């Protein structure tokens, strides 16, 4: 048995213990927990065939009591120095995979700052927010089949585009390829109908970082009257580590004041808004620090709205927050905002950018407060743009 020493300031300490799917040259893909710079093979460590799976879905479906049971067992094993040596692998020696089978994908639009900025860009002579925005969490239905794990290259999408000065649309590679820095939440326990905000932690297993890649020119031409489709559906990247809700209790905060008061089905006894700090690096240069705590709608309210009409939820359902933006320019989580529609280029060392060029690399990282001044790390989600 082995005792694992990790730095006291590690974002992957005993208070975190996120889950992922990993493989090595000697093992098939299976469930692991990250501890410091190590991956703990749960199949080998706990001698439990449930963790020989190449997906977290079966474990997530077991529910909160099972999540607590396993977290307690892993914590006791690590703190007691009882980890089998053969169950430990350095992070640098493993390959990470998509952590769960994505059953469905919904993307929200929950940042008032982001929605207001886009309203000012697209509708300069009208109110930035549409009349429904502060009454319900606005969302669109995404494409589950193109959710990919961090590190997957992103091929520039093709589609119809029509610039304001063009008389008719043309077909070709997107010329305004963008990112959206978001947080995503994965359902563990399914339901056949509504999930109230206060039932959130009984159904949602954990959280990941999301980059919802967006082709703004394709999106702008297609989205009236039904909303995003091809401008979004080509790729959505998620981080490989799923931080359990059980690790995020210290990060819970209140949402900004919601005025008017939400309808009863959206009211929370205690808010599941979260204090998560993100960073966005473009070709190695940090260009934005979006604060998730500024989001108007909490993830519990999002899930409540998503299911209130009787829609079922399934294990592996992913729903994301939409772009996270704060009140300051350096807190904008999409390049269309950061460059104000391309009119204010961003300096990256000796280069400037408005939208993504082939070969560009984007890395979004995130962390949240944990117990006793610790930080809970989500790792990062990264992607490089390849030509169409």
Active site members: 114
Cβ atoms of 191 and 361 closer than 8 Å: no
* Helix (H), strand (E) at residue 170: strand 170-173
Q: Give buried/exposed letters for 150-178 (b at 16+ CB in 10 A, else e).
A: bebebebbebebeeeeeeeeeeebbebbb
> Which of 271, 273, 276, 303 lies closest to 292, judged by CA?
276
| Whether the Cβ atoms of residue 213 and residue 219 lie closer than 8 Å to each other | no
- Let me know the angle formed at the C-alpha of 191 by 322 and 50, rounded to the nearest 5 degrees: 95
Pairing relation of β-strands 38-41 and 273-274? unpaired
What's the Cα-to-Cα distance from 46 to each of 232, 255, 265, 371, rounded to whole Å? Answer: 40, 39, 41, 26
What are the DSSP calls for 295-347, one per residue?
A: -SS-HHHHHHHHHTTS--B-TT-EEE------SSGGG--SHHHHTTTTTSPEE
What gap in Å lies between CA 32 and CA 52, rounded to an integer? 9
Distance separating alpha carbons of residues 269 and 132, to the nearest angstrom: 23
Instruction: For residues 188 and 48, give the distance between their C-alpha atoms in angstroms, rounded to a whole number.
Output: 19
Q: What span, in angstroms and rounded, lies between the C-alpha atoms of 105 and 75?
A: 32
* Largest separation between any pair of C-alpha atoms in the chain: 71
Angle at 52 between CA 51 and CA 57, to 5 degrees: 55
Contacts of 75 (CB under 8 A, 6+ apart): 14, 17
Percentages helix, strand, coil for the chain (3-state, rounded to 5) are: 25, 30, 45
Residue with the two structure tokens 């703004």: 216
C-alpha dist (Å) from residue 358 to 156, 174, 283, 361, 384? 8, 11, 11, 9, 8
């Amino acid at each position: 048995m082995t005792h694992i020493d990790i730095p006291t300031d590690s974002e992957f300490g005993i208070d975190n213990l996120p889950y992922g799917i990993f493989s090595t040259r000697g093992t098939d893909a299976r469930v692991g927990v990250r501890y410091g710079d190590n991956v703990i093979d749960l199949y080998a460590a706990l001698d439990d065939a449930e963790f020989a799976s190449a997906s977290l879905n079966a474990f997530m479906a077991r529910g909160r009591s099972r999540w607590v049971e396993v977290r307690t067992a892993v914590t006791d094993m690590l703190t007691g120095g009882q980890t089998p040596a053969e169950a430990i692998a350095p992070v640098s020696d493993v390959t990470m995979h998509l952590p769960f089978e994505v059953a469905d994908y919904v993307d929200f639009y929950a940042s008032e700052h982001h929605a207001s900025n886009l309203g000012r860009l697209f509708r300069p002579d009208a109110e930035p927010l549409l009349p429904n925005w502060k009454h319900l969490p606005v969302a669109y239905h995404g494409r589950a089949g193109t959710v990919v794990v961090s590190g997957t290259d992103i091929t520039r999408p093709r589609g119809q585009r029509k610039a304001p000065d063009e008389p008719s649309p043309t077909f070709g590679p997107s010329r305004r390829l963008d990112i959206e820095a978001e947080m995503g939440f994965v359902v563990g326990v399914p339901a056949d109908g509504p999930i109230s905000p206060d039932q959130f932690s009984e159904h949602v297993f954990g959280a990941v970082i999301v980059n919802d890649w967006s082709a703004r020119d394709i999106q702008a031409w297609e989205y009236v009257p039904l909303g995003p489709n091809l401008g979004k559906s080509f790729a959505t990247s998620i981080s490989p580590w799923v931080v359990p809700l059980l690790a995020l209790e210290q990060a819970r905060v209140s949402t900004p004041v919601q005025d008017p008061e939400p309808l009863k089905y959206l009211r929370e006894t205690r808010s599941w808004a979260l204090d998560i700090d993100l960073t966005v690096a473009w070709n190695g240069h940090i260009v934005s620090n979006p604060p998730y705590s500024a989001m108007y709608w909490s993830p519990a309210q999002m899930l409540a709205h998503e299911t209130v009409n009787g829609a079922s939820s399934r294990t592996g359902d992913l729903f994301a927050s939409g772009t996270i933006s704060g009140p300051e320019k350096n807190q904008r989580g999409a390049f269309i905002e950061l460059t104000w529609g391309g009119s204010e280029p961003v300096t990256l060392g000796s280069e400037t950018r408005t939208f993504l060029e082939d070969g560009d690399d984007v890395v979004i990282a995130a962390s949240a407060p944990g117990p006793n001044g610790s930080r809970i790390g989500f790792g990062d989600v990264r992607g490089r743009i390849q030509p169409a």
